[in-house]
Amino acid sequence: MVGFENHIGKITISENYLTEIVRHAVTACFGVADVCSINTFHSAASAMTFGKAYKKQKGVALRTDKNGGLIIDLHIKVTYGTNIPAAVSSIIHKVTFTVEESAGVKVNKVNVFVDDMTA
């Protein structure tokens, strides 16, 4: 749960909601094939259970800093031939804009890790 206060009052947003917003924003970006599992254990467990295990943590990790701002870690798979620096810049801007507009949560940092490339 991510919570913050503004002039309306105290607002609490589900981590699942934020994760889905981020996942949809990332997969809509040009050159992104999919989001990857956060680590190899989660990736192996997810592969053996046909994606049923660790589905919640697939590719998106959310945390807050000491000032209450959101830090987002993304693990993605890009298509072959994609200009990676341009794609990463696009992802950072789109995710930041989407989360701030739809949830009203200040995004302080977006870390993008390109873990895989597909043809």
Q: What CATH number does residue 11 fall under?
A: 3.30.70.1350
- Which residues span the domain enclosing 108? 2-118
Write down the mean pLDDT value for the chain: 82
Contact at 8 Å (CB) between 35 and 59? yes
This prediction's pTM: 0.77
Other CB atoms within a 10 A radius of the CB of residue 107 amount to 19
Say what the pLDDT of residue 67 is: 82
Q: Is the pLDDT of residue 59 over 80?
A: yes
User: Total structural domains in the chain?
Assistant: 1
Secondary structure (DSSP) of 49-77 = TTT-TT-TTSSEEEEE-TTS-EEEEEEEE
Contact at 8 Å (CB) between 100 and 106? yes
